[in-house]
């Protein structure tokens, strides 16, 4: 049972090749005032993220679109192939509507063009991690 002072921990995978973005996201997640605390793991590209997804379960993936070795869309296709139901919020510098449509067709939870408002991300993260059963038993 969770006491009123304890917060359930949700595990988030941040996938981005830009370390400044990764640091900013980690810091922001630490400041969000949700009912959850966040354990953060990171991957620098889709290939590393795929390895992490094989190894661990996550409550949410924050995913960049364009990265070396494997793009965000390629990772989404692999996640679909593996039948992973992990919510994905795609954060991208590309504001192209076709790219957004492609990502949404892959079943992502949300598509957010960079730069974005942290309040918007905070709201979406809270919704996404609350939208499914816990990743761990």
Q: 5 in a domain, yes or no?
A: no
Is the separation of the CB atoms in 91 and 60 below 8 Å? no
Q: 11 in a domain, yes or no?
A: no
| CATH code for the domain of 103 | 3.40.50.2300
Q: 67 in a domain, yes or no?
A: yes
55-112 pLDDT, tens digit each: 999 999 999 999 989 999 999 999 999 999 999 999 988 777 888 888 888 889 999 9
Separation of alpha carbons 114 and 72, rounded Å = 15
Separation of alpha carbons 135 and 130, rounded Å = 11
Number of domains in the chain: 1
Q: What's the whole-model pTM score?
A: 0.88
Is the separation of the CB atoms in 12 and 41 below 8 Å? yes
* pLDDT interval class at 20 (50, 70, 90): very high
Residue 102 is predicted with a pLDDT of: 87
Contacts of 76 (CB under 8 A, 6+ apart): 63, 88, 103, 106, 107, 108
Look up the domain containing 46 and give its range.
Answer: 22-130
């Amino acid at each position: 049972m969770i006491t009123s002072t304890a917060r359930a921990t949700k595990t988030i995978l941040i996938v981005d090749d830009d370390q400044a973005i990764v640091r900013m996201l980690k810091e922001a997640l630490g400041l969000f005032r949700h009912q959850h605390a966040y354990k953060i793991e990171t991957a620098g590209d889709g290939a590393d993220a795929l390895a992490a997804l094989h190894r661990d379960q996550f409550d949410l993936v924050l995913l960049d679109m364009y990265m070396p070795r494997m793009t965000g869309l390629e990772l989404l296709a692999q996640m679909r192939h593996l039948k992973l139901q992990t919510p994905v919020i795609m954060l991208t510098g590309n504001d192209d509507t076709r790219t957004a449509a492609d990502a949404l067709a892959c079943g992502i939870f949300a598509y957010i063009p960079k730069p974005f408002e942290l309040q918007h991300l905070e709201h979406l993260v809270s919704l996404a991690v609350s939208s499914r059963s816990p990743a761990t038993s």
